[in-house]
Amino acid sequence: MGCLSALLLVAACASSGNESIKNETSTTVDQKIQDGVTTKDQVKAVYGDPLETSFTDSGHEIWKYVFARTRANGTNFIPYYGAFSSGYHGKAKTLIIIFNNNTVWHHTLSDSDVKTHTGIGG
């Protein structure tokens, strides 16, 4: 039974996104990125390509990096119940960097709780 439990634990965890921000905190990001100083090339050297890019109305370029680590809810593994109701919970980090031409204008890192649920009662 121990092997089955271990298999369920391994299958119940998932991560996605840009692993370069996985262990970052606001403090470590602030050590690597300085508003008005750090360039796009320097950001790319540290974090790689962003998950998403966009532009503000005023033309500033925005780079977005996301990393999420989730675990399956225990109720997912209850016979019959799991077939009708399932979900995940965990943490997501999002790093947003706004550039003014080639230089960082503003940046922020957020660390949020995330939950998903599908099925009955969702």
Instruction: Count up the domains in the chain and report the number.
Output: 1
- Nearest Cα to 36, choosing from 107, 122, 120, 95? 107
- Nearest Cα to 112, choosing from 30, 9, 17, 11? 17
Contact criterion met (CB below 8 Å) for 44 and 52: no
Q: For the whole prediction, is pTM greater than 0.85?
A: no
Does the structure show a pLDDT above 50 at 73? yes
Helix (H) or strand (E) holding 83: helix 81-84
* Confidence band for 89, pLDDT divided at 50, 70 and 90: low
Range in 66-70, 79-83, 106-110 the model is least confident about:
79-83
Percentage with pLDDT > 90 across the chain: 54
Q: Which two tokens stand for residue 61?
A: 């370029």
**Could you tell me the CA-to-CA distances from 85 to 24, 34, 72, 75 in Å, in that order?**
33, 45, 12, 8
Mean pLDDT of 66-88: 64
**pLDDT at residue 8, rounded to an integer:** 43
**Segments forming the whole domain that contains residue 30:** 2-119
- Nearest Cα to 11, choosing from 70, 89, 58? 70
